[in-house]
A and B are shown apart, each in its own frame.
Chain A
Amino acid sequence: MRVFKPFKAGFPNFRIYLAQIWQRKAFIHELSLAERRLEHLDTVFGAIWTILSPMLMAAIYYLLVMVLQGGHKPPNFLVHLLAGVFIFNFISVSAMRCARSITNSGRLITNANFPRAILPLTQTWTSFLQLLPALAILLVAQVTLGPGLSWTLLWAIPDLAIIFIFAVGFGFLTATANVYFRDTAAALPYFNRVWTYASPVLYTADQVRNLSTHDSWMYVNPLFAPLEIWSGTIAQLQTFPLHLWLISLGGAVLFLMLGTAVFLYREGEFAVRV
């Protein structure tokens, strides 16, 4: 027996909702695989683009940093740069895809009943699947140009999970925002670009820390700590104190909760808004 009532304070029943999403996990994965396959179908290089585009981006940033900073670079800087650029590319691609996930599915949303959250979730998962080949390249670079394999590298896995949680939450936010302001998707690339500059991608966290004695402001950026751990682990084989992990996890969970709340609160209205 299903009961459709006015949403309690705007929210659907969370437990039932979660169960419905879990029931459709096979759908999310299959659709993501299909979308990944389709994305570069009409280009000559095809699927190679999923590797080529983050590498080209890394090359451009590398040149940029070379020009701006000259010869003084921290050790293993190229590995650090690749690690940061690949992750940031994942977050911006996911945010972009999520932003359009609801507004591009108008007919589906007005004619079929399903938990709407599977649309942005599918996009985040697709972006994650696209990240995997780039991570393979990163691993090769880490072994050949960087410090090489070590058990410390395993710390990158929980950090990647934190970054994924963040991407899901951020995706929910951009998906909802774009329903109300279609300009979101247009403004997002610039927003992401500025965000990249505010994160330890083109520079290392230590470089910023050396600039001033008051360095805690940089954690206002919820991606700062996860990226610091990510590239520090991979490029320097560093281990990080617990408080930094807690800041990372806290920021990601906060975004997940905020994104989920905003999305679910507005979801009932999507059918008349798209």
Chain B
Amino acid sequence: MSDSPVISLHDVSFTYRTQISRKPNFMEAVRNAGRGQRSTKLVHALKNVTFDVAQGEVLGIVGANGAGKSTLMRAIGGIVPPDEGEIRVRGEISALLALGVGFNPQLSGRENVILAGLATGLSREVVEEQYQAIVEFAEIEEFMDMPMRTYSSGMYSRLGFAVATNMNPDILLIDEALSTGDAHFKEKSSQRIKELKDSAGAMVIVSHSMATLKELSNRLLWMHKGEVIATGEPEKIIDAYSKFLKVGNINAVMEDF
């Protein structure tokens, strides 16, 4: 059982339509009916992506903007179902794709933490148990009974980070969420991620910081325009990717890869 991968993607493709102008209103929808999808554009966000993440592994993902990194994370997190292929995930996922999105600014920090825990499907008792750890980690004890609209943006994302990483996830998906708050909290959160690296079943990190990726990940995956270009040793991939960023041509880089 433990030999089988924790995350397994097989031939996953994802396509979506995006509106070129804006959301259609009723009249436009009536006008466009029967004329084909004129106001939409098809985006191939993922093309036949296949890879596994083993137990205890930290997979880093690099790629230029629009490579499909965020879509890939959303697919693994079950936020968007793939159009083709299959994604198998073993365990509870916690996704740090954007911090504190579910928080209601009118409610107090305390209420938001409880609600966030219940929203992931945890029982009240478990959430109450986690509460103290979350507050201590975020270091905003004295603000917990104030509405979150009074929080600074740093406090807001600190609490978001604390909630997401304290729900004992088996699998952690992190999208550029490492740079949170001030220098002190940044240090603390990257420390926390290193701890989770040992306790969590697996981790997938998207980042533009090569230093972070080199430090944390066992393996890197390089994506470009929805396709997996290469996967392997972090140093090797970073070299190839950095070269690509300078040259701007994948084929030229891959020749001597």
Contact indicator A2/B88 (Cβ below 8 Å)? yes
Range of interface residues on A (Cβ < 8 Å): 20 to 34
Contact indicator B84/A271 (Cβ below 8 Å)? no
Q: Is A210 positioned at the interface, with any CB of B under 8 Å from its CB?
A: no
Among residues of A, the one whose C-beta sits closest to the C-beta of B75 is: A4
- A4-B82, A5-B82, A111-B79 as given contacts; A34 in contact with B104, CB under 8 Å: yes
**Bound CA–CA A24/B120 (angstroms):** 8
Q: Is A154 positioned at the interface, with any CB of B under 8 Å from its CB?
A: no
Q: Is B225 positioned at the interface, with any CB of A under 8 Å from its CB?
A: no
Cβ of B84: which chain A residues have Cβ within 8 Å of it?
A: 6
- A4-B82, A113-B78, A271-B74 as given contacts; A34 in contact with B89, CB under 8 Å: no
Per-residue interface assignment for chain A, residues 95 to 121, with 1 indicating a CB less than 8 Å from any chain B CB and 0 otherwise? 000000000000111111110000000
- Of the candidates A4, A6, A30, the one whose C-beta lies within 8 Å of that of B115 is A30
- Of the candidates B29, B80, B90, B124, the one whose C-beta lies within 8 Å of that of A272 is B80
- Of the candidates A20, A30, A31, A110, the one whose C-beta lies within 8 Å of that of B74 is A110
Cβ of B78: which chain A residues have Cβ within 8 Å of it?
A: 2, 4, 113
Contact indicator B86/A5 (Cβ below 8 Å)? yes
Contact indicator B81/A5 (Cβ below 8 Å)? yes
Q: Is B26 positioned at the interface, with any CB of A under 8 Å from its CB?
A: yes
Contact indicator B87/A24 (Cβ below 8 Å)? no
Cβ of A107: which chain B residues have Cβ within 8 Å of it?
A: 98, 101
Q: Is A147 positioned at the interface, with any CB of B under 8 Å from its CB?
A: no
- A1-B88, A34-B107, A38-B107 as given contacts; A27 in contact with B97, CB under 8 Å: no
- Of the candidates B16, B106, B118, the one whose C-beta lies within 8 Å of that of A30 is B118
Cβ of A1: which chain B residues have Cβ within 8 Å of it?
A: 88-90
**Bound CA–CA A12/B24 (angstroms):** 26
Contact indicator B101/A114 (Cβ below 8 Å)? no
**Bound CA–CA A12/B81 (angstroms):** 9
**Bound CA–CA A3/B87 (angstroms):** 6
Among residues of A, the one whose C-beta sits closest to the C-beta of B83 is: A6
Chain B interface residue count, CB cutoff 8 Å, equals: 42
Among residues of A, the one whose C-beta sits closest to the C-beta of B92 is: A2
Q: Which residues of A11-33 are within 8 A (CB) of B?
A: 12, 20, 23-24, 26-27, 30-31
**Bound CA–CA A1/B7 (angstroms):** 10
How far in angstroms is the closest Cβ of chain A from B33? 12
Q: Is A268 positioned at the interface, with any CB of B under 8 Å from its CB?
A: yes
Per-residue interface assignment for chain A, residues 245 to 274, with 1 indicating a CB less than 8 Å from any chain B CB and 0 otherwise? 000000000000000000000001001100
Cβ of A268: which chain B residues have Cβ within 8 Å of it?
A: 80-81
Contact indicator B121/A183 (Cβ below 8 Å)? no
Q: Is B25 positioned at the interface, with any CB of A under 8 Å from its CB?
A: yes
Cβ of A20: which chain B residues have Cβ within 8 Å of it?
A: 121
Q: Is B248 positioned at the interface, with any CB of A under 8 Å from its CB?
A: no
Q: Is A209 positioned at the interface, with any CB of B under 8 Å from its CB?
A: no
Per-residue interface assignment for chain A, residues 175 to 200, with 1 indicating a CB less than 8 Å from any chain B CB and 0 otherwise? 00000111100000000000000000
Q: Is A240 positioned at the interface, with any CB of B under 8 Å from its CB?
A: no
Contact indicator B79/A112 (Cβ below 8 Å)? yes
Interface-central residue, B17, B79, B114, by most chain A CB under 10 Å: B79
Cβ of B89: which chain A residues have Cβ within 8 Å of it?
A: 1-4
Contact indicator A183/B79 (Cβ below 8 Å)? no
- Of the candidates A38, A111, A181, the one whose C-beta lies within 8 Å of that of B97 is A111
Q: Which residues of A183-236 are within 8 A (CB) of B?
A: 183
Binding site for B on A (CB under 8 A): 1-7, 12, 20, 23-24, 26-27, 30-31, 34, 38, 41, 107-114, 180-183, 268, 271-272
The 10 residue pairs across chains A and B that have the minimum distance between CB atoms: A27-B118, A113-B78, A4-B87, A23-B121, A272-B16, A107-B101, A111-B97, A111-B98, A268-B81, A2-B89
17 A/B residue pairs, CB under 8 Å, sorted by A: A1-B89, A4-B86, A4-B87, A5-B86, A26-B123, A27-B118, A27-B119, A30-B114, A34-B107, A34-B111, A41-B106, A112-B95, A114-B119, A114-B121, A181-B25, A181-B29, A183-B25
